[in-house]
């Protein structure tokens, strides 16, 4: 079984993230979308909220599992039996960072390969940072995030307004 892990912060999940997940399912038998739990960073959505949003957005994808992890990604890959890491690229500026991470992971665990997928051009401008800013300023998110993600973001904004 070819298992891949697609790690990220997914804070919040966007159409670009979902595009990478969908295309990864055509390449691998199982895709684990893994929310990194970085306790030193405060998030817009909690890890649990990100997982909830991702589960809702991928509910029709039978070979996708949503999870979270702490620590080194390659250690998590070993624990889950994954031999591949999937990463998305929006623009050429993403390549340098992804290249460095790929080489570092390869040094830590030579048996794990990184697969870089370009997002569709129409999602190349979308970032979670942009989505958070639009959300906090009350803008329309329907062009940036799957409809299943909207209720999670709206709930967070509502709770913060209290």
> Residue 36's beta-bridge partner residues?
69
By annotation, the residues acting in catalysis are 17, 41, 90, 128
Q: Is 74 exposed, middle or buried (CB count within 10 Å of its CB: 0-12, 13-18, 19+)? A: buried
**CA-CA distances (angstroms) from residue 132 to 14, 45, 79, 99, 151?**
11, 9, 32, 26, 14
């Amino acid at each position: 079984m070819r298992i891949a892990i697609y790690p990220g912060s997914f804070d919040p999940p966007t159409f670009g993230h979902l595009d990478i997940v969908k295309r990864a399912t055509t390449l691998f038998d199982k895709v684990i979308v893994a929310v990194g739990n970085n306790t030193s960073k405060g998030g817009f959505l909690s890890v649990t909220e990100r997982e909830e949003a991702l589960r809702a957005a991928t509910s029709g994808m039978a070979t996708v599992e949503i999870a979270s992890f702490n620590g080194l990604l390659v250690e998590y890959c070993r624990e889950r039996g994954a031999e591949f890491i999937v990463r998305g690229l929006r623009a050429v500026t993403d390549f340098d960072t992804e290249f460095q991470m790929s080489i570092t992971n390869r040094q830590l665990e030579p048996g794990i390969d990184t697969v870089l997928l370009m997002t569709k051009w129409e999602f190349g401008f979308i970032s979670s940072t942009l989505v958070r800013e639009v959300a906090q300023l009350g803008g329309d998110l329907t062009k940036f995030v799957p409809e299943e993600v909207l209720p999670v973001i709206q709930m967070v904004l509502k709770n913060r307004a209290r």
